[in-house]
Amino acid sequence: MKLTKLLALCTTALFLAGCAPSMQMGSPSASTTATGAAAGATSQGANPQLEHCDKPFGTLAIHEDRGSDWYYTLSHDWRLGSTVPVLRLLAQQSNCFVVVERGRGMRDMMRERELMRSGELRRGSNFHKGQMVAADYTLIPSITFSARDTSGIRGVVGALFGHTAAAIAGGIKTSDASTVLTLIDNRSGVQIAAATGSARNIDFNLLGGIFHGGGVGIGAYTNTPEGKVIVAAFTDSMNKLIRALKNYRMQKVQGGLGTGGSLKVQGQ
């Protein structure tokens, strides 16, 4: 009987696998707060909560410090990739910056120029000196992580409502992330602006604690990847940065920047 039931289950699973689509494009469950596409000053499917500018402040390069502790945590512990593609998308969709390539694509750009200098490219390829656009600003991201926890809910709920409620509460987990975006003026080296952002993911893995070993759990369906928390926090940072830039006022130092300042010390 057990073998018969097992064969029946396997047959049903194979049948459902053949009937159901194996891949869904544009799945809402897989999207993040950075959605859609950007092309020049236009965007499609962008997050409506993302700040927008009528015209760009200037050109922008993004520098990710891959030797930092936060990047090690991002890539090693969280198994996530570079933050640069997400930040590029947000920056271009906002129309607050024109994004220029200063990352891995620079190697390919320089390789094309090397081919032109070697004479291998066709005539009229239109590669010559003086074409590359300068980056007015550099955007530097950083992340602060917070480990997953149950926020102490299980013990409190168990004391008040019993073991069943405690099992439910034990399946409610949270993970937080906070981010910082810093904007540097490339000509002067002066920090123009900085903004923090944060996001929280609540994982309602409710049925796992009650029907362990049986039934159909919803944990895999409701469990949001850590990457979504990071993207949401960066979207929050980007919005705050843009709002600050819209109200930007230049700082002025008496005597000019870098001439000694007004906070004197003995011997100056």
- Give the model confidence (pLDDT) of 69-123 as tens digits: 999 988 888 788 889 999 999 999 999 999 999 988 888 889 989 898 898 989 8
Tell me what pLDDT residue 3 has: 56
Residues 237 and 89: beta-carbon distance below 8 Å: no
Name, in order, each residue with C-beta under 8 angstroms of 261's C-beta and a sequence gap of 6 or more.
Answer: 253
What angle do helix axes 84-94 and 226-246 make, rounded to 10 degrees? Answer: 40
pLDDT of 70: 92
Average pLDDT, stretch 173-181?
A: 82
User: For the segment 142-164, what is each residue's pLDDT rounded down to a tens digit?
Assistant: 998 765 554 554 444 444 444 54
Higher pLDDT, 170 or 241: 241
| Separation CA 55–CA 150 (nearest Å) | 44
- The larger pLDDT score, comparing residue 128 to residue 35, is at 128
Q: Half-sphere exposure of 45 toward its Cβ, with a 13 Å CA cutoff?
A: 10
CA–CA dist 116, 256 (Å, integer):
44
- pLDDT tier at 218, thresholds 50, 70, 90: very low
Residue 209 has pLDDT above 60, yes or no: no
**Domain 50-120+131-246: top CATH class:** alpha beta
Sheet holding 191-204, edge to edge: 97-99, 58-62, 137-145, 172-185, 191-204
Q: What percent of the chain has pLDDT over 90?
A: 36
Taking residues 190-211, what's their average pLDDT?
A: 72
Range with the largest mean pLDDT of 21-25, 37-41, 195-199, 215-219: 195-199
Give the model's pLDDT for residue 8.
Answer: 54
**Percent of the chain residues topping a pLDDT of 70:** 69
Report d(CA 84, CA 141) in Å as an integer: 9
Question: What was the pLDDT predicted at 80?
Answer: 84
Interior CA angle at 102 toward 182 and 87, to 5°?
45
How far apart are the C-alpha atoms of 52 and 57, rounded to whole Å? 11
Q: pLDDT for 62-71, tens place per residue?
A: 999 999 999 9
Per residue in 18-46, pLDDT tens? 544 555 544 555 567 777 788 888 878 77
Which pLDDT score, from 0 to 100, does residue 154 have?
45
Question: Which is more confidently placed, 192 or 18?
Answer: 192
pLDDT at 186: 97
Do residues 137 and 91 lie in contact, with contact meaning Cβ atoms separated by under 8 Å?
Answer: no
Four-CA torsion 72, 75, 77, 79, nearest 10 degrees: 180
